Structure 1
Amino acid sequence: MGGMRDEWKRRVELALARAADDEKLLRVIAQLEPLTARFELLEGGVTGVRIDPLTGVTAIADVPDPDVVISGDARAWNEVLSGETPYVRQVNVKHGRFSAQGSVAHSAWLMPVFSAIFSGGSGSEGELESPPSPAPGVVHGRYLRLTGGQAYVDVVVGEGPAVLLIHTAGRDARQWHPLMAALAGEFALYAPDLPGRGRSEADADGYLDDVQRIAEWLMAVADALELGSYVVAGCSLGGNLALLLGAVDPRVQGVLALQGADLTPTISAASLAAMDHPRISLPHANMNFTMSLVGSGAGDRQRAALRRGVDTLNAPAQLADLSAYTRCDIRDRMAEIECPVILFRGEDDWVVDSGMIAATASRIVNASTLEVRSVPEVGHFPHVEQPELVAVALRDLVGAPGRHPGVSV
């Protein structure tokens, strides 16, 4: 046991020593207050670190009164120190093996610091390139007047089936622009900013934090667009909403759920509390989480687009969306879906794992067709990372047996 403890301590202190020379990390630390953390090995072992804007990263043997405590067994620590598991995943409420204690603010401040120390990156590496944009004139903006307020929708006019595109939590319709450009002419595409996100006004009742309420808002958008029938595609929270719309709106003729599931309890109460905390920068605290979900096949432009999405987060919207996401439980509605369904999962995504997709699929028992499509080198944002693969899936969905022939604008 003593050998295990000594080896663990050596590896932790080696990671701290490397971090002490990381100029990018030191620039992050220069913006923080002095903090201390204690690291615990459950099999018996303690070491610590002092994070200081003047002195940077300093290993210390023990911390009697730490601001943050991170503890885990040998397996959990080895997964992080070997690079197998990102630090941000190991502290996740559903998928992680670490126990993290400390204030919401201190834990959020230290997220990029510990991610850089233990996982080799702060989440902001690489040059910030401009993401690819659709050709001028392809995407047009449209405002709709709903009962609860004004909604904004990006539109690509086309002769084919109508498709409603639902973005991920806290982001906006611009996520879909590369896919919309790729599919221009094949479909009539509608990508709304969810209420209070992007250019859509918040609902009259405030930011919507329940999937049923958001689904009702989306059905009102479909009403305003006069969609007699449509296909729905969404990612993450949007994927969950696509499944729910497939169950509750008879106009839906097909569902493409990217990283969508019917039960997603993946965000802790402490993480939600950090979303609108007055002492926490939301991009600072969330960049590592987002970038840890990106697949290995994503290019620099796609990664830049995803980082820009984090940089522009709207705190009340992000809190509402992730509250809706982590409380989402629509298991009892899955048997109501009768149209074709594709559950599309990027294999590099650790938040929506294969077990969650399989469990969801097992409850979609009445769909005319059901396919689970598992794709390597793709993460949590398939429509941003590999839009060409999502375009193929959407074409396949529209051609699936059981789709009513009257799908149109």
Structure 2
Amino acid sequence: MAITGGYITVNGIKTYYETNNGPHNPKGTIVALHTAGRDCRQYHGMMDLWEDQYNVVAFDMPAHGKSWPLPGNVGITDYKEYGKFVWDFIQTMNITDPIVIGCSVAGNMVYYIAEHYPVKAMVSMQGSTYIKAMGSSYGATVDLLDNPYVSCQHSHWDFSESLIGSKCPPEAHEFIMWGVCQECGRTKKADLSIYNNYDVTDDLNKITCPCLLIRGEEDWNVPEHYYHTAMEGLVNAKKVQFVPVPGHGHFIAVEAPEVICKLIDEFLMDCQ
């Protein structure tokens, strides 16, 4: 199985992306969005499993992984700008009828993208439609992530590890924690600024595409009732399905790619 990478310029930003098997896979194209502070390698497991089924395109958002930052060496801090960048990437890549999937902050963002852009389907993993009302603890610590006296990686090592599910295989656990080691404080601050100021609940009735909501049950950071709030607002979606996954947590696409691939494939086949 060959995962190939390349660069494309999106809105003046040199953007790194990876694909699994070209544009001719029979079941369509999935655009995969990574978690806060990380990069598109999180989807390698799923890309391998879907070699002959879906064309998976995963890319590094600006200031993440191998992508260039915005002018001034910064990342995107506004969720509307984030959503527009994703859609501009899709357009620049000439992707039609995209299935957009995302986890964590990207699991939030797929709601906004589905509200404002014509996607074929959306999959939210560990996502929510709002954060302000959560009483999140992030707000008091976001500014410290880019402080010269604070190590971004060490300051949230235990927090990140606490979000991993008990059934996560050791090699996946190590990869997730290696991602913590590689995080950039300025990038993480930008992502959590989006995460901590997010609310698209009022526009959920604009979403008409099929929506799959997946929750690793051991992710204490995104409780189940936020999924129910989302489902209550998705009144015009073609189909809405919520699937809890026991034994797994916040980084579920890395923790259990086989489970996630099966859930998404079955959902999309049922929507045809």
Structure 1 pair 153/267, CA: closer, same or farther in 2 (3 Å)? farther
Could you tell me which residue of structure 2 aligns to residue 406 of structure 1?
none
1:385 aligns with 2:252: no
Q: 2:138 aligns with which of 268, 283, 301?
A: 268
Cα drift, residue 222 of structure 1: 0.3
2:125 to 247, 253, 258: 258
| Pairing 1:321–2:191 present | yes
Residue deviations 1:201-255 (CA, integer Å, cap 9, x gap): 11347411111111100111101110121101100111111121111111x1111
In the alignment, which residue of structure 2 is the partner of 1:200?
67
2:110 corresponds in structure 1 to 242
Secondary structure in 2 aligned to 1:399?
helix
Answer whether contact 1:215 1:241 (CA < 8 A) is retained: yes
In the TM superposition, residue 267 of structure 1 has moved relative to its aligned partner by 4.0
- CA distance in structure 2 between the aligned counterparts of 1:372 and 1:204, rounded to whole angstroms: 39
SS at match of 1:269: helix
1:218-229 matches, within 5 Å, as 218-229=86-97
Which AA in structure 1 matches 2:9?
R
Q: Indicate whether 1:355 and 2:225 are aligned.
A: yes
- Give 2:77's aligned residue: 209
Counterpart-to-counterpart distance in 1, 2:143 and 2:266: 41
- Choose between structure 1 and 2 for higher RCO, CA contacts under 8 A separated by at least 6 residues: 2
Q: What do residues 127-148 of structure 1 show as CA deviations (whole Å, max 9, x unaligned)? A: xxxxxxxx4xx21002111223
Contact 1:340–1:400 under 8 Å retained in 2? no
Conserved? CA contact 1:142–1:153, under 8 Å: yes
CA distance in 2, matches of 1:344, 1:380: 10
* Equivalence for 2:204: 334
The amino acid across from 1:275 in the alignment is L
Q: Separation in 2 of the partners of 1:348 and 1:356?
A: 14
CA contact (8 A) 1:254 1:397 kept: no
Distance, in Å, in 2 between the alignment partners of 1:332 and 1:291 is 33
Deviations 1:22-43 (A, max 9, x none): xxxxxxxxxxxxxxxxxxxxxx
5 Å-filtered alignment, 1:9-408, equals: 135=1, 138-156=2-20, 157=22, 158-160=24-26, 161-204=28-71, 206-250=74-118, 252-265=119-132, 266-401=136-271
Shift of 1:371: 0.5
Q: Which ranges in structure 2 are unaligned for 5 or more consecutive residues?
A: none
Q: Could you say what secondary structure the match of 2:141 adopts?
A: helix
Following TM superposition, by how much is the alpha carbon of 1:269 offset from its aligned partner in structure 2, in angstroms?
2.6
TM-score of the two chains, using structure 1 as the length reference:
0.63
Contact 2:128 2:226 in 1 (8 A): yes
Tell whether the 8 Å contact from 1:163 to 1:188 is kept in structure 2 after alignment. Answer: yes
More off after superposition, 204-213 vs 365-374: 204-213
| Distance in 2 separating the partners of 1:331 and 1:293 | 25
- Asked if structure 1 preserves the Cα contact closer than 8 Å seen for 2:60 and 2:67, the reply is yes
Instruction: Give the distance between the partners of 2:137 and 2:116, measured in 1 at CA.
Output: 26
Distance 2:161 2:138 in 1: 19
Query: Who wins on radius of gyration, i.e. which is larger?
Result: 1
Query: What root-mean-square deviation, in Å, do the aligned CA atoms of Structure 1 and Structure 2 show?
Result: 1.3
Rounded to whole Å, the distance in 1 between the matches of 2:39 and 2:162 is: 20
Give the superposition deviation at 1:389: 0.9
Q: Deviations over 1:333-369 (max 9, x none)?
A: 2111101111100110001001111111111111100
Deviations 1:86-125 (A, max 9, x none): xxxxxxxxxxxxxxxxxxxxxxxxxxxxxxxxxxxxxxxx
Aligned to 1:199, the other structure's residue is in SS state coil
Identity %: 27
- Aligned partners of 2:114, 2:11: CA distance in 1, in Å? 23
Does structure 2 retain, via aligned residues, the 8 Å contact 1:339–1:368? yes
Provide the secondary structure at the position in 2 that maps to 1:256: strand
